[in-house]
Amino acid sequence: MVYRMVYVSAATAPLDADALLALLTRAREKNQRLGISGLLLYRDGDFIQLLEGEREAVRGLFHTIERDPRHTRTLVLLEGEAEQRLFPDWSMGFRNLSDPAVRATPGFSHLMNTPSWPTAFQHDPDGCLALLALFQPPV
């Protein structure tokens, strides 16, 4: 079993490509050290992130993220035990949902095109997981 958490948040300031790369580099190093895998989706200042690993590690990392002054409006969409990781080989996968190629992905949710897309999943955790699963690496 693995502990899984999906949350959304908003950046307090816009992130350009260099800022996103720096954030990902630090996140990947930390996640690897903590045994956490997952995926980060970003669009226009909004994040949706899946973290998976040992319960204490995931919750501890989330509390660090929640206190990070670069985030605001943090909201947990789902959390709990799962039988296996969705992203076992990714310390932190990443997709920028503003990329037209990503938006053309079959199954890309229409909810992602709404201005309040992160909170649209608040009442649809299955849809949230289905969206994240679209970005699983091929087996």
Give the neighbor-by-neighbor strand order of the sheet with 37-43.
Answer: 71-82, 2-11, 46-53, 37-43, 93-96
What pLDDT was estimated at residue 117?
A: 58
57 lies in a domain?
yes
Please state the domain count of the chain. 1
Question: For residue 36, what is the domain's CATH number?
Answer: 3.30.70.100
Indicate whether 138 belongs to any domain: no
Strand 37-43, strand 93-96: pairing = parallel
In a domain, 41, yes or no: yes
Interval 28-73: pLDDT, tens: 999 999 999 999 888 888 888 999 999 999 999 999 999 989 888 8
Task: Read off the pLDDT of residues 92-116 as tens digits, 9 standing for 90 and up.
Answer: 777 667 666 655 555 555 545 555 5
- Two tokens, residue 85: 């990781």
The answer to whether residue 139 is domain-embedded is: no
Residue span of the structural domain in which 102 resides: 2-133
Tell how far CA 44 is from the center of its chain: 14
Q: Is 62 inside a domain boundary?
A: yes
pTM here is 0.81
Report CA-CA distances (Å) from 93 to 11, 21, 35, 69, 116: 18, 12, 14, 22, 23
Whether 89 is covered by a domain: the verdict is yes
Task: Note whether residue 73 is domain-resident.
Answer: yes
Percent of the chain with pLDDT over 70: 79
Asked whether residue 36 is assigned to any structural domain, the reply reads yes
